[in-house]
Amino acid sequence: MRTFVGIDLGSTTTKAVLMDENKEVIGRGITNSRSNYATAARVASEEARIDARFTLFRRALHVGEAGHEHSAEFLAALERNFRLIQFLEQLDDLEETCHRQLEADRFKSIAGPLQEALHIIFARLRQEAASLYAPGAKRKSDFFRDIAGSRFHVHAEAVAREMGIALDMVLNAYDKSIIEVENRPPGGDLSDKFRRAVARMLAADSHAADGEGDFAAMIESALGIELEETYLVGTGYGRVTLPFSKEHIRSEILCHGLGAHMMYPGTRTVLDIGGQDTKGIQIDGHGIVENFQMNDRCAAGCGRYLGYIADEMNMGLHELGPLAMQSNRPARINSTCTVFAGAELRDRLSLGEKREDILAGLHRAIILRAISIISRSGGVTDQFTFTGGVAKNEAAVRELRKLIQENYGEVTININPDSIYTGALGASEFARRAVAA
């Protein structure tokens, strides 16, 4: 099967979209960006291929059709087992890498206790891994770095206290290792991993396969479909350094404009709040960019702002919006700088202000900045499409709707659940057109 790949190498996350010849998206993948752009691009497109496999499985298992009620559960369980296998593999790599660090001079004097501490920490990490991927389990993020990092921190703190050793040294062994592990491209054969996931699942729950037909055989036949990478286009912040030749690269403004147009053909104004930049883009009826504006080099008003605040509060990024929604008296945030806003948050918390009110204030602050960028790009005409990771945040959306209405009256506001893939979607369409033309 011919596929067209779009990769959006963003400042914080790298996204990939796999499109088929019928202009249908069959897979989406996301990973965090890292210092090796080739690896980031590779991991994102592998994630998209994994997702595409699940699309093919869904088709093979007739998920969603009447009389196939169990197949959705089967697929969900398969995905959880698959993710767990991936997580455990990377955890092994991380543990090995951490131990290797201890050979360095700075760890020599306490290598023994550190080694023991690492053994205990990783044993605990491994022990709880299954619960991280249990049905209905909530994770702070889906990226290995975030999951492993936050859990490592928790266990390291406890173990360092129990053993009476310096927490900083334990964390340092992790800090030195994670970048290495992250920049190692994923190994192993994908099909094999799927097979192991199926086996693991059936071993744990033999009833999992009691459904409509032989699930394992259906999975096997879907694995037989070859995903051919026909053409690839890269875009995004890191596009200049993408390991592709020039004809495989498009500007991210163009890709975002086209992606938004594909999702909502009536779009005339796009607001994209990404990890480190916020863009206001004006497009015509064909998705061609007419004008745009971007923030300067400051994280206030970008997605990272909320990411930083989530870290400060020790919460998952996706938990911020729901909490902020509970406020009806948003605090007025004085700090512009993200780091200072984090400090202000701590101050306000210690003064007894409500978490939801502070959070609502922070959401308002980020949207206020976005509104000023939109106005500089030429304002809003009907229809307005909000893209990027922050579009998933209901509190940000609430604030945006309010401010758009105050400033521009009644306009249609589109928000797609897959809005974070807008740039990659545009890129994959450029890839498809490159071959179709």
Partner 1 sequence: MTITSGIDVGTGAIKVVAFAVEGDQERCLGKRVERVRQRDPLKLAGDIYDDLLKETGLARADVAYCATTGEGEALTFHTGHFYSMTTHARGAIYLNPGSRAVLDTGALHGRAIRMDDRGKVLAYKMTSQCASGSGQFLENIARYLGIAQDEIGSLSQRADNPEKVSGICAVLAETDVINMVSRGISSPNILRGIHESMADRLAKLLKTLGSLDGTVQMTGGLALDAGLVDAMKDAVVKARVDVAIESHPDAIYAGAIGAALWGAFRHKRLADMARAA
For residue 37, state whether it binds partner 1 (rule: CB under 8 A): yes
Sign of CA dihedral 174, 177, 183, 186: negative
**Residue in 117, 110, 62 with CA at minimum distance from that of residue 95:** 117
Q: 281: part of which helix (H) or strand (E)?
A: strand 278-283
Q: List the one residue from 76, 337, 435, 436 that touches partner 1 (CB under 8 A).
A: 337
Q: Which is nearer to partner 1, 300 or 370 (CB)?
A: 300
In the complex, minimum distance from the CB of residue 21 to partner 1, in angstroms, rounded to a whole number: 34
**DSSP-derived secondary structure for 328-397:** SS-------SHHHHHHHHHHHHHTT--HHHHHHHHHHHHHHHHHHHHHHHT---S-EEEESGGGG-HHHH
Map residue 22 onto helix, strand or coil: coil
Tell which one of 167, 190, 223, 434 touches partner 1 (CB under 8 A).
Answer: 167
Check if the beta carbon of residue 58 is closer than 8 Å to that of residue 64.
Answer: yes
Smallest distance, partner 1 to C-beta of residue 300, A: 8
Does residue 304 interact with partner 1 by CB under 8 A? yes
Pairing of strands 413-415, 384-387: parallel
Give me the residue label for tokens 């209901």. 394
H helix or E strand, kind and range, residue 16: strand 13-20
Which residue is associated with the tokens 């479909």?
Answer: 225
Residue range at the interface with partner 1 (CB under 8 A); choices 76-84, 186-194, 224-232, 291-299: 291-299
For 1, other C-beta atoms within 10 Å of its C-beta total: 12
109 binds partner 1 (CB under 8 A): no
CA distance 13 to 311: 16
All residues at 6 or more sequence positions from 26 whose CB lies less than 8 Å from its CB, including other chains: 3, 18, 19, 20, 51, 52, 55, 56
- Helices of type H across 214-251: 215-223
Instruction: Verify binding: residue 171, partner 1, rule CB under 8 A.
Output: yes
| Calpha distance 243→246 (Å, rounded) | 10
Tell me the closest approach of the beta carbon of residue 233 to partner 1, in angstroms: 20
Shortest CB 11 distance to partner 1, Å: 4
Is residue 177 a contact residue for partner 1 (CB under 8 A)?
yes
Which region among 79-87, 212-220, 317-325, 336-344 touches partner 1 (by CB under 8 A)? 336-344
- Interface with partner 1, residue 27, by CB under 8 A: no
Using CB under 8 A, pick the residue from 6, 27, 29, 238 that binds partner 1. 238
Q: Select the residue interacting with partner 1 from 120, 165, 298, 323 (CB under 8 A).
A: 298
- Of 137, 203, 288, 343, the one binding partner 1 (CB under 8 A) is 343
For partner 1, the closer of residues 130 and 167 by Cβ is 167
228-235, strands of its sheet edge to edge: 25-32, 13-20, 2-9, 228-235
Instruction: Tell the smallest beta-carbon distance from residue 297 to partner 1 (Å).
Output: 6
Centre a 10 Å sphere on the Cβ of residue 332 and count the other Cβ atoms it contains: 8
Q: Verify binding: residue 168, partner 1, rule CB under 8 A.
A: yes
- Selected from 83, 124, 176, 401, the binder of partner 1 by CB under 8 A is 176
Please tell me whether residue 347 binds partner 1 under the rule CB under 8 A.
yes
Assess 350 for contact with partner 1 (CB under 8 A): yes
Question: 12, 115, 230, 293: which one contacts partner 1 (CB under 8 A)?
Answer: 12
Q: Does 335 bind partner 1 (CB under 8 A)?
A: yes
Q: Which is nearer to partner 1, 69 or 347 (CB)?
A: 347
Report 376-435 residues binding partner 1 (CB under 8 A). Answer: none
Residues of this chain that bind partner 1 (CB under 8 A): 11-12, 33-37, 106, 153, 157, 167-169, 171-172, 175-180, 237-238, 241, 275-276, 297-300, 304-305, 308, 311-312, 314, 335-340, 343, 346-347, 350
